[in-house]
Structure formats: structure tokens, C-alpha cells
């Protein structure tokens, strides 16, 4: 399985150009060879293998990170492996040692990887319920026609209804779903609507990682359907956002 994943992700560059490096880390081997004590807490128990990822710091590093790691996680799922995004419930210093985290690199999230148990524990079931992982916001809260406040219907989305639905179903930290997407002439525009004070203790903006995940889901679905397009930052959108978009909402990128 490692060989398949390594082969599939020789090109691990995100849409903004940041290259994510990842390593498979075995808990027992790290303990034995480096006296590194890898630990997770909360819902994950018994994991012995991890994919640990890092990316050089940059302007769009977190979006690139989310995009690439979600793409990797989706491929691992396709191979029948279990994964779980971890953004804060692990011993960061120890995992950083395990991959030789460099100055100028960040390691926002990791994932355990392996064959999952069929039955969820009581704790996992409770945490999934609390995070709302079975529930997603409805279309009218996420997707808009020409401007925020004008909900987009699936009929209006036409051939892009499936890529947008894949975004709606995408995972996000605590299921906040911070993406807001406007379909307009000239493209499909992705905005981040921040949850006030969310994730402050993590040391990085986890909702920007969520935007990378959303971009991954949209692009993979669009390509599967043969829909043309590419990611582009439209500077006029970024400038206009200062005066026309509600506070706490920020333009990220467009599919054109």
C-alpha cells in the first residue's frame, strides 16, 4: 500500500505551488530507533502507522496543504484504508522529530492510516455526533448565484451541481464548512467565511486548510465529469472583497 501511495503522489504540489512532503511513520519504530514517543488523544486509539506531512511556509501554504493531504486521504480510502484528520489531538513535537521538521516548515495536521475497525467506539460515536459529521449545511447556506445572499439552486448550477455537492459533503474541522461559493459570469468563486475565534489555540488557521479540502473535492469531481477549468486568483475579486463582502469573509480563489 505504501508503494502505491508513494507512486500516486510523486507530484505532491498544491494548486498554489506549495509542495507537501509526507512520510510514513511507524510508532514502534520511532520509539525504538529514536526514542520518539508518538501519541494521540481523544478518539484515535491503537493506531501504529501515520502519514505525517509538512509544507514550507508561504502565502497559501495551508490551502495547498489541505488540498494535497485530502487528495492523499481520498486515495487511501479508495485503497480500503482508514484515515482521520488530526489537527490538534497529537503530540506535535514528537511527530515533528519523527520527520525531521525543518526550520521554515509547518506541520498543521497528520492522519493515522490502517485498516479500520468495523464498529465505532462509544467515544468516537459521541464525538462524531458532536462534530456533526453526519450532517451538512444545505445548499442555500453555502452556494450563491452572482452574489452572497442569493442562494444558488442545483438546477441553476447545472453541470456544476455535482462538484458543488462534493464540496458540500467534504470534511472540515468540527464540520464548520467555512466555504461560501458564488457562481457568476467569469467563474466559480471560493470564499472563506471564518468562524469567530475558532481554532485559536492550534497555532495555525485550520479553516484555510478546510478551503484546500473544498478545492480538492471540487476539482476532482469536475475532472471526473470532464469539465474544463483551472484555479486562478482574480485580483479584482480580492480587492473588491474589502468593500462588498461581509466582515469575516475573505476571497480565496476562482475556478475559471
Closest C-alpha to 235, from 252, 256, 215: 252
Write the DSSP symbol of residue 240.
H
CA count, 13 A, side-chain hemisphere, 155: 0
* pLDDT above 70: percentage of residues in the chain: 89
What average pLDDT does the segment 185-211 reach? 94
Mean pLDDT confidence for 63-68: 98
Domains of the chain with CATH codes = 2-123 (3.40.109.10), 136-255 (3.40.109.30)
Q: What is the pLDDT of residues 68-118, one digit of tens each?
A: 999 999 999 999 999 999 998 899 999 999 999 999 999 999 999 998 776
Q: Please compute the mean of the pLDDT values over residues 49-59 and round it to a whole number.
A: 97
For 229, phi then psi, to 5°, come to: 150, 165
Q: Residue 134 pLDDT > 80, yes or no?
A: no
485580483: which residue's cell?
235
Separation between Cα atoms, residue 88 and residue 65, nearest integer Å: 15
Q: What is the mean pLDDT of residues 129-135?
A: 63
Query: For 224-248, what is each residue's pLDDT tens digit?
Result: 999 999 999 998 776 655 556 888 8
CA–CA distance, 219 with 214 (Å, rounded to integer) = 9
- Asked whether the beta carbons of 204 and 107 are under 8 A apart, the reply is no
Question: How many Cβ atoms from other residues are within 10 Å of residue 70's Cβ?
Answer: 25
Confidence of residue 26 (pLDDT cuts 50, 70, 90): very high
Amino acid at each position: 500500500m505504501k508503494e502505491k501511495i508513494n507512486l500516486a503522489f510523486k507530484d505532491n504540489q498544491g494548486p498554489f505551488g506549495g509542495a507537501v512532503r509526507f512520510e510514513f511513520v511507524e510508532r514502534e519504530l520511532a520509539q525504538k530507533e529514536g526514542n520518539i514517543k508518538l501519541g494521540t488523544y481523544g478518539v484515535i486509539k491503537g493506531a501504529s502507522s501515520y502519514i505525517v506531512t509538512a509544507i514550507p511556509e508561504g502565502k497559501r501554504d495551508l490551502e495547498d496543504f489541505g488540498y494535497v493531504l485530502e487528495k492523499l486521504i481520498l486515495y487511501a480510502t479508495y485503497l480500503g484504508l482508514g484515515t482521520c484528520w488530526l489537527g490538534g489531538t497529537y503530540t506535535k513535537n514528537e511527530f515533528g522529530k519523527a520527520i525531521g521538521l525543518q526550520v521554515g516548515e509547518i506541520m498543521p495536521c497528520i492522519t493515522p492510516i490502517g485498516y479500520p475497525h468495523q464498529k465505532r467506539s462509544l467515544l468516537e460515536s459521541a464525538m462524531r455526533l458532536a462534530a456533526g459529521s453526519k450532517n451538512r449545511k444545505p445548499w442555500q447556506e453555502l452556494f450563491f448565484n452572482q452574489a452572497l445572499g442569493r442562494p444558488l439552486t442545483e438546477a441553476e448550477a447545472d453541470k456544476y451541481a455535482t462538484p458543488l455537492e462534493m464540496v458540500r459533503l467534504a470534511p472540515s474541522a468540527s464540520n464548520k464548512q467555512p466555504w461560501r461559493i458564488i457562481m457568476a459570469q467569469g467563474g466559480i468563486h471560493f470564499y472563506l467565511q471564518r468562524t469567530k475565534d475558532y481554532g485559536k489555540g492550534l497555532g495555525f488557521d485550520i479553516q484555510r486548510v478546510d478551503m484546500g479540502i473544498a478545492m480538492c473535492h471540487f476539482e476532482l469531481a469536475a475532472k471526473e465529469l470532464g469539465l474544463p477549468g483551472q484555479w486562478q486568483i482574480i485580483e479584482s475579486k480580492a480587492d473588491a472583497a474589502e468593500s462588498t463582502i461581509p466582515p469575516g469573509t475573505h476571497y480565496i480563489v476562482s475556478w475559471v
